[in-house]
Every structure is written in structure tokens, then in C-alpha cells.
Amino acid sequence: MPVALLCEPYLLDPRPDGIHVLWHTERVGRCQVVLAGVDVPHLTDQQAYAAATGRAESGDGWRRFPAETRLLSRMREDAESSVPGRTYSGVTRRLVHRHLARVGGLPAGRTPYRVVSIDDDGRADVTPVYSLAPAAPSGRPVRLLLTSDHQLMPMVPANLAMVGETAGTALDGVLMAGDMVNVADRASDWFDSTRRPAFFASFAGRAPGRWPGAPILPNTPLYPSIGNHEVMGRWSETGSLEEQFNDARPGEWDVTTYEELFPVPRSDAGGPRWWSRTIGDVHLISLFVTAIWRSPKLTGRGKFQEAAQDVDHPQRWGHGQFIFEPIARGSAQYRWLANELASPAARSARYRVVMFHHPSHGLGHHSAPPFTDPVPAVRPGGITYHYPLGDDYVLRDVEPLLDEAQVHLVLNGHSHVWNRFRNAAGVHWLETSNVGNSYGAYDVTSGRSRELPDGYVQQGDPGGLTPIVPTVAPLAGPDGAALPYVASNEVTVFTLLDTADGLVRSYRFDTVDPEAGVVLFDEFALDGP
């Protein structure tokens, strides 16, 4: 890893003639620039340094784009952090500066670029040569990686390495349906954890171990959505960051770090929390649809009750599995979604894709209880919470909007499985988040039940859809029956959407048997069953 850079550059929100390039350092530095142009690959490090610091803003085959720098406001470490050469006894502020350069005037196609970062002592880091591109022209076919829930899981580097081998590293976008790290305000989760593969390290091909990942985000723009792990709870200078993450309350939660790391794409109504973009022939809508995770256990503070000892202490209540941002009919986000689906950009797109974190259709554990506000009941000696299935906001309110707008694909995450469905209106629902830490699949073929209280869907899709068995090479259960899911801590999955042929292809890779290679196991057409 270079001396100053905490991560390799990553790309956000391409525009018709430009794109945003971001990178991070601990110190402000003397100079932070992007060099872009056809001759950038031929510059030596010394020539790149001269181009970054000289008077001329351009030269033969290169242009210079200075970055705007700001200090991230909530980055910290704690005793659970694993930072190279450092230890922390408690919650400690960590200085992380964001550098954002707007690279403009780009021609069609790919342009080579490098970042030059010069620190406060005059030491220069010059990155390898990567490539960037303006937004894909409206109507042009694109290739997109669909993923979520990386959370520093051990199979992530292998997963991304196989993406690179299968599809290359220069795609039109990475659609990330939330849960990028475990604790959003822990800097090392993003940049340099030595215990587990950090988010940007894996996506830059710099993770330690057998599989380093692949340099995807330095070459491909990221389109993110917010998962529950991007939300922090109440600020505290004591305890641990994990405790703070779990200490969110209604109206007392925070997504500042997410918004500072990913300031774009954004919309006027939702900022970076919900937005839309047209990527070639795809119109993508990203929503903020997630809830606090609470333990499903029936003792202590959790989804279904408050701890008995906390009943008389409201400041300790967890308030059940409450929703962060409303999406119910009539909410600001719902109204924006309805208008967006009816917009000319959405209606004229060849494909319409909607992305959010919570999987109301799914075989995973997190598809239940329903995605609705907890209904409290106060009884002698206890407070319990109920979640009526008929009030699931995704199934009751959002899905009819998507059906009416003829959305082609809904991308979810959260349950750490691969499964897919197609509803009666022809909308495909896909979760492709199997990179480890699987909680299992709860289907008749697995024989497993969710172990929830009576009255909740214990097995199958709570939304009532039948899971689709992979069309090419499904995994088989012990009895030889084809499984409609992948839920494994050894077999990892990634999915590619290629609109040139309108196909969504899912691949699996067995990290225990790598010689078997990447296996295409499912393929379906967005316009077909």
C-alpha cells in the first residue's frame, strides 16, 4: 500500500462528459490531483509528479484535475479495530480526509487516469494507471455487477477476484444493495483492517491472502444504497463502536459517514439517501429501505420485546425492529418513488431496476418479520412488539407501484443468500449477497424453519412467491433435489446483468475446491419468465 493513500481511487456518479474520482488520506497533504488523458500511462512517476505540481494545467496527452478536500466528521477506531501498527484502548478519533475531483470534458469511451497524492512532507504517491469513462449514453447496452452485504466477509476477495476473471474490472457500474461494512464509523472497516478484508482493499485488488480481490472500483463507478450497517446509533465517547452501532433509537440514528463517503449520486428530495440515474439502457432507482437489526431471541432486548429489567427505564428501550426512513404510502420517499417511476426517464428506459436493502421476498432469515413499524403492547411486567404481515410496507405499498410501472428487476440484500422470484406482474426479485456469514435458507428443501414466534412465516417466502430453481447448474441437497438458493460459507456467488442480451447471469465459486473454477448456475431474461 502506498505511504499516504488509505485506499485506491474509486469512481462515483458518471455524468455525460465526466465522473467523480475520490480517494482518502490521513493527512491533508500538499497536493491531491487526478491526471487524465491518453498519454498518462506513459508518464513516469517523476513526470506525473511534475505534471501534478507544475504551472501548466495540461500537457501532451494529459490534463490535471485538482481535488476538493474535507475531513470526514465521524471516523473513529476502538479496541476492536485492527489497524496496521496501532492499537486503541477505547473509542478514538481517526483523521481521514476525503479528496474529490470532478473530471470533466471526457470523450466517449475509456480514458486512462492516475491519482497523484503528495503528503505534508513532500512524499508522493502515484497510483497505477486505471481508466474512467463518462456516463454510458442513453439507450446503450451496459454490463453491471449486482452485489451486497460484503461486511468484511472472508469470501469477498475470492468473490471479486472471480468477477475480475469472468467479466473484467471495467464495467459500467457496481450496484451495491447495502451493508458494505460492519460498523460505518470504524475507519479500518473501510480502508485497512488487518483482521478481515476491508471494503476498499478488496475492491481494489489489495486484500491480503490467496485472493486479493480485483481493481474494480478504480475502474467502475459504484452505485450504492443504504443497508442497516451503514446506519450508526447514538454518538458516544465511551464503550465501543459496535455498542454505538446497536444503540440506534427512533429519531436517534446517523448516516453521516455513508453520505460523506458517497456524496453522489443524489436527488433533490433524498440527497444521497435515495436517488435515480440512467445508466445506458437501464434506469436505476436506489431507495433507503432498511430497519435496525434486533435479536430474534425471545429473551432480553430484541425484535419482539424489551428486556424485562428495562421496562421501567425507557432510555434503555430498543423499540423493536424499527424502520429508519419511512417508505409507507404517503411518506416523502414513497411520493418521490411514485413520481420517479412515472418520469419520462424511467418510462423510456429499456430496463427499469429498483435497488434497496430489505428483502420482503426471500428465503433468508431477515425476510421475516414483516417490514412494518412494530406495534407495541404493554403487559404486566413486559413490553412486546408485533409486526402484522398485512402491513408490510414493501409488499403492501411498494410492490404495487413497481408492478404498475413494469419494473424489470428488484435487487435486495440483507439475508446473505442467493435466491430469486418472479411475481404475477412479471417483476423479478433477486438477492445475490452470498459472500459468507450465511444465516441459512428457510425452505422446504432445507427443512429449516426461522424459529420465530407463532404467527410469522417460518418457512418459504413471506410474500407468498415460489422460489425459482437455478436454470443452469443448481446446487443439490443431501437427497439430490435441486436447491432454489445458495446459502453457504464456502461457495460464493456473484451476478452480472448484461443488457446487450437482456440476461441476468449468476455464477458460483467454491473456495474449498477452487480448481473447479467459476460455474454459471443461473440465467434468466429480464423480459422472460
Quickly state the pLDDT bin for 425 (edges 50, 70, 90).
very high
Mean pLDDT of 27-46: 97
Nearest to 496 by CA among 145, 118, 229: 145
Q: How confident is the model at residue 294 (pLDDT cuts 50, 70, 90)?
A: very high
Closest CA to 375 of 360, 389, 356: 389
What is the phi/psi pair of residue 79, to 5°?
A: -65, -20
- Tell me, letter by letter, the H, E, C secondary structure of 468-511: CCCCCCCCECCCCCECCCECCCCEEEEEEEECCCCEEEEEEEEC
Rounded to whole angstroms, the Cα distance separating 198 from 244 reads 20
Q: Which three cell numbers stand for residue 276?
A: 435515480
Average pLDDT over residues 420-428: 98
Judged against a pLDDT cut of 60, whether residue 1 lies above it is answered with: no
Confidence of residue 381 (pLDDT cuts 50, 70, 90): confident
Instruction: Give kind and range of the element (H or E) at residue 401.
Output: helix 399-404
Q: What are residue 394's phi and psi, to 5 degrees?
A: -70, -50
CA 242 to chain centre: 19
Q: Is the pLDDT of residue 475 over 70?
A: yes
Distance CA 462, CA 412 (A): 15
Name the 3-class secondary structure at 50.
helix
Q: What is the DSSP string of 166-218?
A: HH-S--SEEEE-S--SSSTTBHHHHTT-SSS--HHHHHBT--SSS----B-TT
The count of C-alpha atoms lying within 13 angstroms of the C-alpha of 110, restricted to the half-sphere facing its C-beta, is 15
Amino acid sitting at position 418: W
What grid cell was written down for 364?
433468508
pTM of the model: 0.97
d(CA 244, CA 23): 26
Instruction: Give mean pLDDT, residues 440-465.
Output: 95
Q: Is it the case that residue 478 has pLDDT exceeding 60?
A: yes
CA–CA separation, 341 and 331 (whole Å):
15
Tell which residue, 227, 329, 367, 199, has the closest CA to residue 287: 227
Instruction: Summarize the confidence of residues 16-33 as an average pLDDT.
Output: 97
Nearest-angstrom CA–CA distance, 128 and 219: 11
The percentage of residues in the chain with a pLDDT greater than 70, rounded to a whole number, is 99
Report residue 174 as a C-alpha cell: 457496481
Largest CA distance in the chain: 79
Residue 316 φ/ψ, nearest 5 degrees:
-95, -5
pLDDT of residue 238: 86
- State the pLDDT at residue 380: 81
Report the distance separating Cα 290 and Cα 131, nearest Å.
34
| Residue 222 pLDDT exceeds 60 | yes
Beta pairing class for 491-498 and 519-525:
unpaired
pLDDT at 434: 86
Q: What is the DSSP string of 316-350?
A: G---SS-BSS--STTSHHHHHHHHHHTSHHHHHSS
Residues 291, 358 contacting (CB under 8 angstroms): yes
What are the grid coordinates assigned to 124, written together? 508522493
Pairing state of beta strands 143-147 and 173-176? parallel
pLDDT at residue 401 is higher than 80: yes
Give the per-residue pLDDT at 2. 44
Torsion of CA 185, 191, 197, 201, to 10 degrees: 140
Mean pLDDT of the chain: 96
Reported as a single tens digit per residue, the pLDDT across 125-145 is 999 999 999 999 999 999 999
Neighbours of 40 (CB within 10 A): 22
Confidence of residue 3 (pLDDT cuts 50, 70, 90): low
Residue 278 predicted with pLDDT over 60? yes
Task: Give the mean model confidence (pLDDT) for residues 473-502.
Answer: 96
Strand partners, 282: 279, 351
